[in-house]
Structure 1
């Protein structure tokens, strides 16, 4: 792992439980649900991570 520290999205609703966290990895990024951290993580290579960020910025 490149970054041990998870960062919560600034768009996450603090009281509604609809939060995601992400962290940089040596191959791209990893994303998880803050309410169900133990269930799964989504691993994205750089290309897909950048495409996701660009798509979210244009919303």
Structure 2
């Protein structure tokens, strides 16, 4: 799994951090920051949820 965050599309809702805080964080402006480009299988479901609930669809997952 490879995670890609489009920071320009991000609307700083923070939903990704709530869903998968070991993979995502936010900068001082609230924009999503990717902590792990290739997260472990243990958090894969959380990362998929983060991508699904992102209001800006700024998270893309490549399998």
TM-score by length of 1: 0.30
- Structure with larger RCO (C-alpha < 8 A, sep 6+): 2
Higher strand share: 1
Query: What TM-score does the superposition give when structure 2 sets the normalisation length?
Result: 0.29
